[in-house]
Amino acid sequence: MPKYAFFKGEIVPIENAKVSIMTHALNYGTGCFEGVRAYWNPEEEQQFVFKALEHYQRLHRSCRILHMHLPYSPEELRDITVELLQREGYREDTYIRPLAYKSTEVIGVRLHDLDDEFAMFATPFGRYIEGEGGARVIISPWRRIDDNAIPARAKITGSYINSALSKTAAAQAGCDEAIVLTQAGHVAEGSAENLFLVRNGRLVTPRITDDILEGITREVVMDIARREFGIETKVRQVDRSELYVADEAFFCGTGVQIEPIVEIDHIPVGTGEVGPITQQIHDLYFDIVRGRVEKYRHWCLPVYAE
């Protein structure tokens, strides 16, 4: 359990970081957030925050869509993260949750003429999907929110109802996760993760205009696949039935990390085992995030002085 939170401009004991039941964001879902990971590296006794600035740049973009003003720049948010992690002193993998929210205690659905607050906490966190050997998934019975309804490119608290409906439908079907289709019936993403297929030795992933979050891990995957393995990614519309004929499939995201998908709608993906390209990307990703690959060390921000 976290001992501290960043709340109303300072680091306070977590029990003091409380909001009223009248808080606008609690009633109407008018907040936006990030999920950032910090990895413990036991050899160096160091913790590394992965892609910190990218997360805070995205938080700023989410805030723009929600008519919010964040009083901290991405660089300042990065520094607050480091300070909070130093105070917590975790010696394990950690998840950081920055949250910007409409804090006014008032009735009335809107985005304008409301105050904004920012908070952050950090908690130890292991795997998002438990169990070894890859995820078994369904196609969600719920469609992804459309850009013209609630923009999926913004990480908005209220829009995670769409994710929660899908995730619970998957659990009730005895599966680990759900893949959500767009209103037009094309593949968007997982309930809280982006998605890649492997077809004929190439990666395929849905376009950002197919109602997905503009994933940071998605960019990392495309980058390292090309640079380290010479594997190109085709970013294009993906049909539902392509999921059933793909050679390999995996989820990616800060929370889920790289998670192989071994079954979709009870049909095995490829051989039904974790595929070789997924495995390669998975293994390299975990070395990179722990700061073990010199070339990508600049993606990892040390929490303690080196």
Active site residues: 155
Residue type, 114: L
> Given the structure tokens 């169990």, which residue do they identify?
131
Closer residue to ligand PMP (CB): 24 or 37? 37
CB contact at 8 A, 61 and 55: no
The DSSP symbol for 1 reads: -
Tokens at residue 216, please?
Answer: 């940071």
Strand partners, 261: 135
Strand partners, 205: 235
**b/e sequence 226-257, b meaning 16+ C-beta within 10 Å:** eeeeebebeeeebeeeebeebbbbbbbbbbbb
Residue 217 CB, nearest approach to ligand PMP (Å)? 3
Chain centroid to CA 89: 23
**b/e sequence 30-40, b meaning 16+ C-beta within 10 Å:** bbbbbbbbbbb
Stretch that binds ligand PMP, among 59-67, 68-76, 87-95, 214-222 (CB under 6 A): 214-222
Residue 12 CB, nearest approach to ligand PMP (Å)? 26
Closer residue to ligand PMP (CB): 11 or 139? 139
- Exactly one of 62, 254, 257, 278 binds ligand PMP (CB under 6 A); that residue is 254
- Exactly one of 23, 30, 140, 217 binds ligand PMP (CB under 6 A); that residue is 217
CB atoms within 10 A of CB 67: 14
x/- mask, ligand PMP, residues 193-212, rule CB under 6 A, reads xx------------------
Tokens at residue 49, please?
Answer: 């925050």
Residue 37 CB, nearest approach to ligand PMP (Å)? 8
Residue 145 CB, nearest approach to ligand PMP (Å)? 10
Residues 174-193 that bind ligand PMP (CB under 6 A): 189, 192-193
By CB under 6 A, tell whether 216 contacts ligand PMP.
Answer: yes
Residues 65-84 that bind ligand PMP (CB under 6 A): none
Closer residue to ligand PMP (CB): 80 or 195? 195
Interhelix angle for 216-229 vs 276-289, to 10°? 110
By CB under 6 A, tell whether 275 contacts ligand PMP.
Answer: no
Residue 107 CB, nearest approach to ligand PMP (Å)? 29
> Given the structure tokens 């995820």, which residue do they identify?
135
Residue 202 CB, nearest approach to ligand PMP (Å)? 21
Stretch that binds ligand PMP, among 65-73, 74-82, 215-223, 232-240 (CB under 6 A): 215-223
How far is Cα 239 from Cα 224, in angstroms, rounded to an integer? 25
Handedness of CA 258, 64, 184, 167 (dihedral sign): positive
x/- mask, ligand PMP, residues 132-171, rule CB under 6 A, reads -------------------------------x--------
CB atoms within 10 A of CB 202: 14
- Exactly one of 29, 134, 206, 255 binds ligand PMP (CB under 6 A); that residue is 255
- Which positions touch ligand PMP (CB under 6 A)? 35, 163, 189, 192-194, 213, 215-218, 253-255
